[in-house]
Amino acid sequence: MNDQTPPTREMREAKLEGMGCKRKRVEDVRFTQGKGNYVDDMKLPGMLFGDLVRSPYGHARVKSIDTSKAMKVPGVLAVLTAKELAGVNLAWMPTLAGDVQMVLADGKVLFQGQEVAFVVATDRYAAADGVEAVEVEYEELPVCVDPFKSMLPNAPELREDLKGKMTGAHGPRKHHNHIFEWTVGDKTATDTAFNTAEVSIKELISYQRVHPSPLETCQCLASFDKVRGELTVYGTFQAPHVIRTVASLISTIPEHKIHVIAPDIGGGFGNKVGAYPGYICAIVASIVTGKPVKWVEDRMENLSSTSFARDYHMTCEIAATKAGKITGLRVHVLADHGAFDACADPSKWPAGFFNIVTGSYDIPTAHISVDGVYTNKAPGGVAYRCSFRVTEAAYCIERGMDILAQKLGMDPAELRLKNFIKREQFPYHSALGWEYDSGDYHTAMNKAMDAIGYKQLRAEQLAKREAFKRGETRDLMGIGVCFFTEIVGAGPSKNCDILGLAMFDSCEIRIHPTGSGIVRVGSKSQGQGHETTWAQIVATEIGIPADNLTVEEGNTDTAPYGLGTYGSRSTPVAGAAIAMAARKIKAKAQMIAAHMLEVHEGDLEWDIDGFRVKGLPEKSKSMKELVWAAYNKPPPGMEPGMEAVSYYDPPNMTYPFGAYFCVMDIDVDTGEYKVRKFYALDDCGTRINPMIIEGQVHGGLTEAFAIAMGQELKYDDRGNLHGGSFMDFFLPTAVETPHWTTDHTVTPSPHHPIGAKGVGESPNVGGVPAFSNAVNDAFNFMGGTHIQMPHDHWRNWEAAHSRGMHG
């Protein structure tokens, strides 16, 4: 062999590190060396710091705010209150859900931790001292934290600003604390199904209030240039372009004079989608002082104020035949939105995509209704590592299936197999209005059951139960089954927008003369590894090695307009835009190749990293040569250069699915549990980078474990938040976290350019029901139908205690 030996096809393919390759994450080179660049790493000349005074009360009138002592604290330069903000028309701000929210307390406070005043100082220590020195006089008001009591006739009126307004952004309001009612499905047909049902179940299934815990909390650095009239905001934004548009709409600054830059982000999980009072305050403070102002929330502020998740109380009813065929589904949800409806959903979807609640099953008729209510709790309602309300829906149906199986005396896996949508039914139209793109549920379920040895586990469980009854053991064994279908990739402009912006995404590719290039995308990685995977898509599409491609996101001046990263939408939407932009590059390259090889375009075929003449493989041009030609000597009549832009409006959502199994042992005397085995089979269609998928699944399962087994933001009757620090809010360490076994099947999406579906959130969506079903499965032979989450030691002990297991 000598240097002239042409590389084999395998070598050329491997060099690309394209789709399917376990390419190492390129961003980790800087992250693992502490060289990431996060908002709090940024320093601008003359930078000031802002810190928030927060309400100690759940509901109170603000009688007065005295800032005089705070202004005397050395280093404090300004204190903003609602009064100052009202001067620039920013005491209130619009929310993503069509409501309005106080930026700083305007007359009253509605939840503990609410933003009351913003202290600006020369450093963060002085700002913290200034916060202590602000004197606020409150008059306590009656508190309502229980959504079930929020619509009682005598419930305190929380939102006085809405007094008399009996219509909200999503239709009529039934009560002064009611936000909306949202219904989907055929009520009459569903009622009939229940009236004639042979068997039915009804259960209140609550999904407690929790909160994402990104390593980095929410923060921003705002810098207003008075001379140029331009505003630059660096922030932890999952959707920087949306922030720019919102900032322009609510200020008087034109959009081209606003520069929103999201640098490296240390995790988001939905927490960084919304616009928070701290951002507005920092911006106004920068305008007022003429200096850059940084605002960084601490961990307790993060847990207590910037966007919780869930707090969904779902009454689930399933009708079925005695043989276990489901004939109808009815769900009512009481949705606790806190003090303001700041839910991060596409604008027309007040309950997100909760109508995916029919799950993986062929359910002929269904009806759902969701009532959103105000309470004295923090606002939000973000999709914590799930598409909009999809994890709530998956939890509801997957618990419901187990409860039905129990009533029928049927194995829960068997009940699922019996009701799955069959492969030949796709594309499948669900009773609640979705078109499922593709699926092969039976294959996935059977593979999973074989892999974990489902039959043997059930036999072992039976023996264990007998041993328990004989008093030989104090351990219970639970087997959790979950088969979820997600709906991700929001979304088609026909049904998804945010404040009127269609939920497309975008990509711009520039290939440089020497065959490397830059890929700019409208999504924004928060740790998902976009810099790695986006380059892999382009590499496979146009034959340029991934290592020769820079991926850039987050700068609204340079990235094409995109709707950001959340709801597992990046691969389904931005990933498609990337492939489409790459195909435009490839099409141009093909024209150049035809010209250079003097053949018709149709006589060319693509071959890994270039074009060759069909039947004459030695006549070929590599992409590198074609790119050079585009700059050096383009064919007559063709514009030089090698650039493409694509804006992708997806024709449909994508529907990833998976089969998860959890085997758990629970000590009835202490409530301690041990996850013996967790098996997760995911089908996310085409797999771009199997290693990144595995990492996403590990992370999502760990969050699911945390949610199901311990996380809870609990308020007492006086509106005090308990569990708002990591002392109590369950963040498992490596010691508690179970071992994860991952597996997959591949059912590509038929409408997506590369067949990929999105996976980041699947493990959270499917993981929670798998854990919860395992706990319920452990106990249900002793009676009872449902144990509410979180399944911590105390509640497991309670479950045992209420079933008479403590003698």
Partner 1 sequence: MIPASFDYHRPKSTPEALAILGQYGDDARVVAGGHSLIPMMKLRMAQPSHLVDLRSIPELKGIRIDGTTIVIGAMTTQAELLGSAQLTAAVPILHEAALQIADPQVRYMGTLGGNVANGDPGNDMPAVMQCLDASYRVTGKTGSRSIKARAFYKSAYVTALNSGEIVTAIEIPVPPGKHGYSYDKLKRKIGDYATAAAAVMMTVSGGKVQTCAIALTNLGPTPIYCAQASAAIVGSGLDTAAITAAAGAAGALMAPSPDGRGTVQFRTSVGGVMIGRALQRAYQRATA
Catalytic residue positions, numbered: 238, 385-386, 761
Among 161, 225, 736, 743, contact with partner 1 (rule: CB under 8 A): 736
Residue 293 CB, nearest distance to partner 1 (Å)?
17
The token pair that represents 147 in the structure block? 């959504």
Q: How far is CA 280 from CA 78, 116, 296, 427, in A?
A: 15, 13, 13, 45
Number of C-beta neighbours around residue 429 at 10 A: 11
Q: Does 1 bind partner 1 (CB under 8 A)?
A: no
Radius of gyration, CA atoms only, the chain? 28
Residues 669-698 that bind partner 1 (CB under 8 A): 669-672
Q: Tell me which stretch binds partner 1 (CB under 8 A): 387-395, 424-432, 616-624, 788-796.
A: 788-796
Cα gap 177→87, rounded to integer Å: 29
Cα gap 130→508, rounded to integer Å: 46
The token pair that represents 152 in the structure block? 């009682």
Total number of residues that touch partner 1 (CB under 8 A):
31
Residues 546-585 that bind partner 1 (CB under 8 A): none
Residue 672 CB, nearest distance to partner 1 (Å)?
7
CB of 454 or CB of 730, closer to partner 1: 730
Q: Tell me which stretch binds partner 1 (CB under 8 A): 224-232, 387-395, 420-428, 722-730.
A: 722-730
Burial (CB < 10 A; 0-12, 13-18, 19+), residue 187, is middle
Q: Which residues pair with 553 in a beta bridge?
A: 521
CB of 718 or CB of 793, closer to partner 1: 793
Q: Residue 539 phi/psi, 5° resolution? A: -55, -45
Q: Which residues pair with 548 in a beta bridge?
A: none
Q: Tell me which stretch binds partner 1 (CB under 8 A): 280-288, 324-332, 577-585, 721-729.
A: 721-729
127: DSSP letter: H
Cα gap 377→143, rounded to integer Å: 10
Q: Which residues of 622-641 are buried (b: 16+ CB within 10 A; e: fewer)?
A: bbbbbbbbbeeebeeeeeee
Contact by Cβ (8 Å): 537, 570: no
Q: Does 728 bind partner 1 (CB under 8 A)?
A: yes
Residues 209-238 that bind partner 1 (CB under 8 A): none
Q: Does 33 bind partner 1 (CB under 8 A)?
A: no
Q: Does 94 bind partner 1 (CB under 8 A)?
A: no
Q: Does 797 bind partner 1 (CB under 8 A)?
A: yes
CB of 66 or CB of 132, closer to partner 1: 132
Number of C-beta neighbours around residue 252 at 10 A: 8
CB of 655 or CB of 729, closer to partner 1: 729
CB of 131 or CB of 403, closer to partner 1: 131
Closest among 253, 278, 289 to 113, alpha carbons compared: 278
Query: Mask 633-672, x = binds partner 1 (CB under 8 A)?
Result: ------------------------------------xxxx
Q: Which amino acid is at 2?
A: N
Residues 113-142 that bind partner 1 (CB under 8 A): 124-125, 128-129, 132
DSSP code string of 592-616: HHHHHHTS-GGGEEE-SSEEEETTE
Closest among 528, 538, 520, 521 to 567, alpha carbons compared: 528
Residue 282 CB, nearest distance to partner 1 (Å)?
18
Cα gap 762→584, rounded to integer Å: 32
User: What is the sign, positive or negative, of the torsion defined by CA atoms of 211, 766, 688, 691?
Assistant: positive
Among 730, 740, 771, 779, contact with partner 1 (rule: CB under 8 A): 730
CB of 491 or CB of 699, closer to partner 1: 699
Q: Does 806 bind partner 1 (CB under 8 A)?
A: yes
Residue 669 CB, nearest distance to partner 1 (Å)?
5
The token pair that represents 467 in the structure block? 């041993």
Residue 299 CB, nearest distance to partner 1 (Å)?
7
Q: How far is CA 666 from CA 139, 723, 799, in A?
A: 47, 24, 11
Residue 715 CB, nearest distance to partner 1 (Å)?
13
Query: Mask 291-320, x = binds partner 1 (CB under 8 A)?
Result: -------xxx--------------------
Q: Does 732 bind partner 1 (CB under 8 A)?
A: yes
Q: Tell me which stretch binds partner 1 (CB under 8 A): 272-280, 337-345, 619-627, 789-797.
A: 789-797
The token pair that represents 659 in the structure block? 């089969």
Cα gap 532→537, rounded to integer Å: 9
Among 228, 636, 733, 739, contact with partner 1 (rule: CB under 8 A): 733
CB of 134 or CB of 542, closer to partner 1: 134
CB of 128 or CB of 499, closer to partner 1: 128
Q: Residue 804 phi/psi, 5° resolution? A: 70, 25
Q: Tell me which stretch binds partner 1 (CB under 8 A): 161-169, 442-450, 460-468, 798-806.
A: 798-806
DSSP code string of 107-126: SEE-STT-EEEEEEESSHHH
Cα gap 660→645, rounded to integer Å: 39
Among 722, 741, 746, 784, contact with partner 1 (rule: CB under 8 A): 722
CB of 227 or CB of 735, closer to partner 1: 735
805: DSSP letter: T
CB of 1 or CB of 735, closer to partner 1: 735
Q: Does 793 bind partner 1 (CB under 8 A)?
A: yes
Residue 390 CB, nearest distance to partner 1 (Å)?
28
- Which residues in this chain contact partner 1 in the complex, by CB under 8 A? 124-125, 128-129, 132, 298-300, 669-672, 710, 714, 722-723, 727-728, 730-733, 735-736, 792-794, 797-798, 801, 806
